């Protein structure tokens, strides 16, 4: 690098690290005061605490700040972690891998590799044209939207680490198995013809100059972007959850979404496909439904269907995949999710 650019190349990391530490401290302070604060807020309202309305409002006032605070922390941490990964590096790790270990790696890298839905098509072509097998590419593309920090963070906050860990394990399982199946079917010929013709140039990026302050900045940027986008969904989701919490009759919901209603699992998967809410809006509703007797397997199947099989994403992918291949993709992933739902309701009876 020439001195002529005049920019201070190595900024001292200490102000950034100290700033992060101060931010975390402030975060902890705020979080520890949530319960007393929301209790105090509810006591100010001229409403009987144990009425339907009182229950709903207390639920809302406690959950909104709690979820937003925790989400901010998780998204920040994930933004920092992602600054260590890139789609190009992930591709280099996956190129030429056979099925099996390649699918496992792809699904796991799908969690940590930075990925936005407008990058889905370039990423797909970039992977396939660089020699990443089709099934391995699909494992990545299924895991990336399904097992993400927003979903895992919210499940952890609202439903506990057991549920979050289970979702992680089964989400990865679906991505790995669906990718393996698609790989075995050898559907390369079902890509759109122009995709197969692409001769990608060898990429030789100059080494990047990323420093710790850059990584912290990446975390803050992720917070601004992701929390800035999903906060409204979270508030809407918690409001819906609060209504269910305060008003929904228990017997009715348990009858529709309980373990005994086997048909509720396929119904949940089907309803989830055209829905494109993100996990942020769905999980608070899910929490309330569980509290009213819905079965965990049914509810997890619904969540996976909403996040992994979204209509807008398949429309984007239609540019590179034939309709037949899209149908196979939806069928294989849908069946996997269905299996997760049934298995869960069976195991955790």
Partner 1 sequence: MKDVKVLGPGCKRCDAAVQMVKDAAAASGVEVSVSKVTDYAEIAGYGIAATPGIVVDGKVVHAGGLPKAEDLARWIGG
Give the residues lining the site for partner 1 (CB under 8 A): 1-2, 4-5, 7, 9, 86-88, 90-91, 114-116, 118-119, 121-123, 125-127, 129-130, 194-195, 197-206, 208-210, 214, 319-320
What is the nearest approach in angstroms of partner 1 to the Cβ of residue 320? 8
Q: How many CA atoms lie within 13 A of 23 on its CB side?
A: 14
Least distance between partner 1 and beta carbon 95 (Å): 10
Of 118 and 349, which CB lies nearer to partner 1 in the complex structure? 118
What is the nearest approach in angstroms of partner 1 to the Cβ of residue 219? 13
The overall longest dimension of the chain from CA atoms, in Å, is: 73
The residue among 10 and 44 lying less far from partner 1, judged by its C-beta, is: 10
Q: Assess contact for 269 and 302: CB atoms under 8 A.
A: yes
- CB closer to partner 1 out of 127 and 156: 127
* DSSP H stretches of helix in 45-100: 52-82, 87-94
Q: Which is nearer to partner 1, 211 or 277 (CB)?
A: 211
Toward partner 1, which CB reaches closer, 46 or 193?
193
Q: Which two tokens stand for residue 284?
A: 């608070």
Least distance (Å) between residue 194 CB and partner 1: 6
Q: Which is nearer to partner 1, 125 or 332 (CB)?
A: 125
Residue with tokens 């890298």: 109
Residues pairing with 276 in the sheet: none
CB closer to partner 1 out of 29 and 205: 205
Q: Which is nearer to partner 1, 129 or 277 (CB)?
A: 129
Q: What minimum distance in Å lies between the beta carbon of 54 and partner 1? A: 42
Residue 332 beta carbon to partner 1: minimum distance, rounded to whole angstroms: 23
Q: Shortest Cβ distance from residue 182 to partner 1 (Å)? A: 19
Minimum distance, C-beta of residue 81 to partner 1, in the bound complex (Å): 14
If the CB atoms of residues 44 and 201 are measured against partner 1, the closer one turns out to be 201
Shortest distance, position 2 Cβ to partner 1, whole Å: 6
- Per-residue HEC secondary structure of 123-146 comes to HHHHHHHCCCCHHHHHHHHHHHHH
């Amino acid at each position: 690098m020439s001195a002529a650019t005049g920019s201070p190349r190595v900024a001292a990391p200490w102000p950034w690290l100290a700033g992060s530490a101060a931010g975390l401290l402030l975060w902890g302070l705020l979080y520890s005061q949530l319960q007393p604060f929301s209790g105090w807020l509810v006591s100010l309202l001229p409403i009987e605490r144990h009425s339907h309305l009182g229950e709903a409002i207390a639920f809302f006032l406690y959950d909104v700040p709690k979820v937003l605070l925790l989400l901010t922390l998780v998204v920040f941490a994930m933004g920092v972690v992602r600054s260590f990964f890139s789609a190009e590096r992930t591709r280099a790790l996956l190129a030429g891998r056979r099925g099996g270990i390649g699918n496992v790696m792809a699904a796991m890298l799908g969690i940590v590799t930075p990925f936005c839905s407008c990058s889905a098509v370039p990423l797909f072509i970039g992977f396939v044209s660089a020699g990443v097998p089709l099934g391995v590419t699909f494992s990545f593309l299924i895991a990336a939207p399904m097992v993400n920090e927003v979903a895992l963070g919210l499940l952890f906050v609202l439903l506990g680490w057991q549920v979050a860990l289970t979702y992680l394990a089964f989400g990865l399982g679906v991505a790995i198995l669906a990718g393996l199946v698609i790989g075995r079917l050898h559907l390369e010929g079902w890509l759109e013809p122009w995709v197969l013709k692409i001769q990608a140039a060898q990429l030789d990026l100059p080494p990047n100059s990323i420093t710790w302050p850059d990584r912290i900045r990446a975390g803050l940027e992720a917070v601004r972007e992701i929390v800035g986008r999903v906060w409204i969904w979270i508030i809407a989701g918690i409001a819906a959850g609060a209504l269910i919490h305060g008003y929904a009759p228990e017997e009715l919901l348990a009858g529709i979404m309980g373990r005994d209603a086997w048909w509720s699992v396929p119904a949940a998967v089907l309803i989830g496909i055209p829905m494109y809410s993100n996990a942020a809006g769905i999980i608070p509703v899910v929490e309330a439904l569980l509290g009213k007797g819905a079965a965990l397997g049914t509810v997890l199947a619904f969540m996976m269907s909403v996040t992994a099989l979204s209509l807008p994403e398949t429309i984007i992918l239609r540019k590179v995949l034939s309709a037949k291949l899209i149908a196979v993709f939806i069928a294989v992933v849908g069946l996997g999710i269905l299996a997760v739902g049934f298995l869960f309701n069976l195991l955790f009876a």
